[in-house]
Chains A and B, each alone.
Chain A
Amino acid sequence: MSDAAPEPAVMVRGVTKTFERARVPALRGVDLTVQPGEFVAIVGPSGCGKSTLLHLLAALDVPDSGALVVGGHNLASGRRLNHYRARDAGIVFQLDNLLPSLTAAENVQAPMFETGRSRQERKERAAELLALVGLTGKERQRPAELSGGERQRVAIARALANDPPLLLADEPTGRLDSEAGRRVLDLLEELRARRGLTIILVTHDPAVAARADRTIRMLDGRMVDDGTAA
């Protein structure tokens, strides 16, 4: 009988990153393993490197050294990152980062251009995702016509546009009031339960981190607690 462990959803080994203008490294040899379907929160003070790590996992940047493998993609190689961003990982920012000239439905459709869906398929998929995040009837609203919580839910729907297995969220409730923030977190938990998503969320709020299966603590570009200790 084979009891081989499942392939991790995320595997980070010895990742370092220093920004050109910064005096100190943002990441100094980070190791992290996340299993499929896990909900992980990364916490730490400002400047500890948690957002940098999340941006590397979203393939928005590349590490200086180390290994970064997500869903079989070697992100450290810097190759086929567009393909990865379009299909394998969705990201939700603290600021919703929606395109202001597009409607909610059009914002959700934006990532689908890279996956060859037809116009009709894009339209139907956007309506389905907006329904999933509880925004039926708001399809034609522009971001300026939506509340902060609604905009963040549109951003979540956009992140799920191409059905990625991994959802990355950078302080997704940071700009929301407590009720709107609670509803966004409820939605993330529900999506994880219904769709088996792996979720990695960055926050400085202990109450938000408490919703995760595991909390990773970072300090000065290093992981000081990977949340696996009993």
Chain B
Amino acid sequence: MSFLSLIVKNLLRQPVRTGLTVLGISIGITTVVALGVITAGLKSTSGELITAGGSDFLVAQQGTADLSFSTVSEADWQAVSRMPGVAQAIGVLIHITRAGDNPFFPVLGIRAEDLARRAVPLREGVLFPPGAGDVVVMGDSAAASLGVGVGGTVLVDRRTFTISGIYHAGTTFEDAGLYAPLATVQEMTSKPGTVTALFITTAPDSSTAAVATTIEERFPNLEAVTSVDEYDEVDQGLRLIDAANLAISVLAVGIGAIGVMNTMVMSVFERTRQIGILRAVGWSGSRIMRMILGESLILCLLAAVAGSLLGVLATLAIAELPEVRTLLKLEFAPVIFVRALLVAVIVALAGAIYPAIRAVRLTPMEALRYE
């Protein structure tokens, strides 16, 4: 018999209670994993957007709650275009609306000449020409989701657009939507003379960071986003999700620790006499403590494995929902599972420390007299 097998035997004394405790903790871990995967996916999608179409960084209005609320005037756009170090500044007006059963369908307004310069590889068809009206090019995942193709039509905001081409940009956000003429989108959204963001490509001999800093200095109302870490400056939704993620992780730890403590306290109370016997035959307090912490750790590691599996299954199920199917990119980053493991270990230690200390503080005689 090894020390580990003794710990496992102790857990198997009450298999139903052990199973229910594992299940309870694993629900918390599931939440942590699912939120982590979704948050990482959203960040990844945001990161893709920053460098979409081959641009080096993105410029948008500072401090907006959501990127789609950002407004950059055409005057600022032109001024940015003329700045030293800026090789290209493409303005895009982002409009999120319903198309088919997708309530978050991205409609991206862009000038025809900018679309031609932007790295948006066509799979079939052609780009819309300058001066086109209700003609669009559509991302391949959007086309697949809506079941349309080149020459077909799509109804957006009660306007029917003809699809001239299908592209695959390689970014979740672009491929889940369509590019339409900028003037048309400005008219649809009643935002004449504005765009949502500028996609900047710097000149070959210029530093991206230096150009971004210069833009921010010259236009205090604008934010240059060069990495996903800065993205929450123009979209506080990510910051909110991060905060929610942290809050839920803390709650999961708290609730999980109380569950583990309840189980371990009951287990230690029930086994007080047995602990006394082990002390009587020479077990040290530290070995008793290791035994109880070991039991708690195994409970929580089982919960971490079960919770991680359930979290993966839950996010796969969420990703199949029509509302998010094309926009949500799942990122199963190892750090998410490390965090789940860390939560499990914290829960194990927090939940077991009181019962372990109680068990160790009892003298062998006190424990042996316990009925």
**Interface residues of A, Cβ cutoff 8 Å to B:** 55, 58, 60-61, 82-83, 85-87, 90-91, 93, 97-99, 101-102, 105-106, 109-111, 113-115, 119, 122-123, 158-159, 161-162
Contacts and interface: CB of A to CB of B under 8 A. Distances in A.
B13 A101 contact: yes
A193 to B, nearest CB: 24
B82 interface: no
A97 B282 contact: no
Given A86-B282, A110-B278, A123-B1, 16 more contacts: A60-B363, A60-B365, A61-B365, A82-B279, A82-B282, A82-B284, A82-B285, A85-B279, A91-B281, A97-B273, A97-B368, A113-B287, A114-B283, A115-B282, A161-B281, A162-B282
Nearest to A119: B2
B364 interface: yes
B23 interface: no
B282 A85 contact: yes
Interface in B164-180: none
B365 A99 contact: no
A122 B280 CA distance: 18
B277 interface: yes
B205 to A, nearest CB: 69
B280 A113 contact: no
Given A60-B368, A61-B365, A114-B287, A101 B10 contact: yes
Contact of B1 (A83, A93, A119, A162): A119
Contacts of A85: 279-282, 364
A7 B273 CA distance: 35
Contacts, number: 71
A60 B282 CA distance: 10
A99 B284 contact: no
Contacts of A158: 281
B285 A122 contact: no
B361 interface: no
Which of B2, B282, B283 counts the most chain A CB atoms within 10 A? B282
Contact of B364 (A60, A101, A113, A159): A60
A106 B1 contact: yes
Given A97-B368, A114-B287, A61 B363 contact: yes
Given A60-B363, A110-B278, A113-B3, A102 B368 contact: no
Contacts of B285: 82
